[in-house]
Amino acid sequence: MTLDSLQLLFFKNYDEASLTLSPHINCFIGENGSGKTNLLDAIHYLSMTKSAFAASDAQCMKQGADFFLVKGSFLLPSSSAPDIIQCSLRTNQKKLVTHNKQPYDRISDHIGQYPVVLISPYDTDLIRQGSEDRRKYFDSIISQLDYAYLELLIQYSFLLKQRNALLKQFAERHTFDRDYLQVLDEQLIPAGEQLVVRRQEFLEQFTPVFQRHYQELADSREQVTLEYKSQLPGQDFAQMLRQHERKDLALQRTTTGPHKDDYVFLMDEAPVKSFGSQGQQKSYAIALKLAHFEIMATQKQHKPLLLLDDIFDRLDERRITRLLQLVANHTFGQVFLTDTHLERTDRALAGLSEHITRFRVDKGSVQPL
């Protein structure tokens, strides 16, 4: 799978941009703050219908504008004609995502069709931040691989939102209707139980791939693993909800369930967050992303787009060398990378035979070099 072209209107710091892309390696060169990462984020938006960095869609709109648009032309191995994907948002209106000019019935139908993997300096936040970030990361991977899981996740999230709103309503009105709560619980319970089973199954598949990439990347003896931490396995979810009922009413939110699960990152049986060095944490995070790429490429039967943000500034030579070896061995398909120095990028890529297209990025404008 390749992205042949990219067009932007009022996306982040761009008024307008139009790029014809290499099917192999694309380099965005420019000073910090010029908009290099925003180009990667636009590609991510086309794939996932959301930003990798902004907390909301509205934050992707250029200051002073009342809409933004991101458009791309994808070519899949199974199709001779390109797929034209367009994502747009206008102030006070719903986001619109179209495939060959036809809007999706539901935006979730788009997820997983054009996979992308981003490796960025912020990846170690996955290790250092809270459980919500890790849940979202793994939910995103599984959702791209398994549409039924995405549907289940949407259903569970909707029911959880309804349950929390009901608990808040009980508190505000000083009332309690157990029958109404029970109706919601009867729908929430099977969805939650299925989510947990699917997460367990995925981690069993993902962990050995991740471990192999860590050993190749770090060239070290420490043993790394991933542990799925959930309250549900071996427990009766219905009984757990009843046991937490009083607490839920007091806090006006549901305090037990798969929305509280976590993924524990371990190294020699100790948390990487607390005991891993900065270098070990970087290796751990990159190994997660490389496993993410491999699993996606294997199951989708075409390689995701790979976005590499500021790797030359933020990674040491060993990790950069390993990534470039994978590029040279054609492990990856189409690659997009950012850097502040053209000469450094050229030196790093000098041994590669792939076609390389370079772009100069300067304060929201981008031109081929």
- Among 274, 299, 324, identify where a domain stops: 299
pLDDT tens digits along 159-213: 999 999 999 999 999 999 989 999 999 999 999 999 999 999 999 999 999 999 9
Q: Please indicate if the annotation marks 130 as binding a ligand.
A: no
Count of structural domains within the chain: 2
pLDDT tens digits along 205-255: 999 999 999 998 887 788 999 999 999 998 999 999 999 999 999 999 999
Give, for 8, the enclosing helix (H) or strand (E): strand 2-9
60 and 142 housed in the same domain: no
287 and 349 housed in the same domain: no
Q: Answer for the pair 265, 271: CB distance below 8 angstroms, yes or no.
A: yes
pLDDT at residue 272 is higher than 90: yes
150 and 186 housed in the same domain: yes
Among candidate residues 41, 91, 129, 117, the one with its CA nearest the CA of residue 292 = 117
Using DSSP's 3-state secondary structure scheme, residue 245 falls into: helix
166 and 293 housed in the same domain: yes
Q: Please indicate if the annotation marks 72 as binding a ligand.
A: no
Average pLDDT over residues 138-151: 95
Is there a domain that residue 23 lies in? yes
Give, for 236, the enclosing helix (H) or strand (E): none
Q: Please indicate if the annotation marks 38 as binding a ligand.
A: no
Pairing of strands 365-368, 270-271: unpaired
pLDDT tens digits along 286-338: 999 999 999 999 998 889 999 999 988 878 888 888 888 888 888 899 999 99
Note the helical H segments in the chain. Answer: 36-48, 125-128, 131-145, 147-173, 178-218, 237-243, 245-251, 272-275, 278-300, 311-314, 317-328, 342-349
pLDDT tens digits along 78-120: 778 999 999 999 999 999 999 999 999 999 999 999 999 999 9
85 and 184 housed in the same domain: no
174 and 50 housed in the same domain: no
Q: Answer for the pair 44, 34: CB distance below 8 angstroms, yes or no.
A: no
286 and 147 housed in the same domain: yes
Using DSSP's 3-state secondary structure scheme, residue 97 falls into: strand
| The predicted structure's pLDDT at residue 191 | 97
Among candidate residues 216, 332, 214, 220, the one with its CA nearest the CA of residue 283 = 214
DSSP 23: S
Q: Please indicate if the annotation marks 2 as binding a ligand.
A: no
Going from the C-alpha of 302 to that of each of 24, 92, 117, 131, the distances in angstroms are: 14, 37, 13, 30
Domain span at 278? 128-299
Position of tokens 């790029």? 19
Give, for 15, the enclosing helix (H) or strand (E): none
Is there a domain that residue 28 lies in? yes
Is there a domain that residue 135 lies in? yes
Pairing of strands 25-29, 335-339: parallel
Q: Please indicate if the annotation marks 16 as binding a ligand.
A: no
Query: Which tokens in the block code for residue 152?
Result: 């289940």
What's the CA gap between 219 and 237, in Å, rounded?
42
What are φ and ψ of residue 109, in 5° steps?
-65, -20
Q: What is the CA radius of gyration of the chain?
A: 22
pLDDT tens digits along 110-122: 999 999 999 998 8
- Among 276, 299, 322, identify where a domain stops: 299
Going from the C-alpha of 63 to that of each of 7, 15, 17, 44, 45, the distances in angstroms are: 18, 10, 16, 20, 18
pLDDT classification of 348: cutoffs 50, 70, 90: confident
Q: Please indicate if the annotation marks 276 as binding a ligand.
A: no
Q: What is the domain-level CATH number for residue 204?
A: 1.20.1050.90
| The predicted structure's pLDDT at residue 330 | 85
Q: What is the domain-level CATH number for residue 110?
A: 3.40.50.300
Query: Which tokens in the block code for residue 89?
Result: 């948002």
- Among 238, 264, 299, identify where a domain stops: 299
142 and 233 housed in the same domain: yes
User: What sign has the CA pseudo-torsion 306, 312, 313, 316?
Assistant: positive
Contacts of 155-158 with C-beta under 8 Å, sequence gap 24+, read: 155/187, 155/191, 156/188, 156/191, 156/192, 156/195, 156/258, 156/259, 157/259
What are φ and ψ of residue 104, in 5° steps?
-65, 145
Q: Answer for the pair 166, 252: CB distance below 8 angstroms, yes or no.
A: no
Q: Please indicate if the annotation marks 32 as binding a ligand.
A: yes
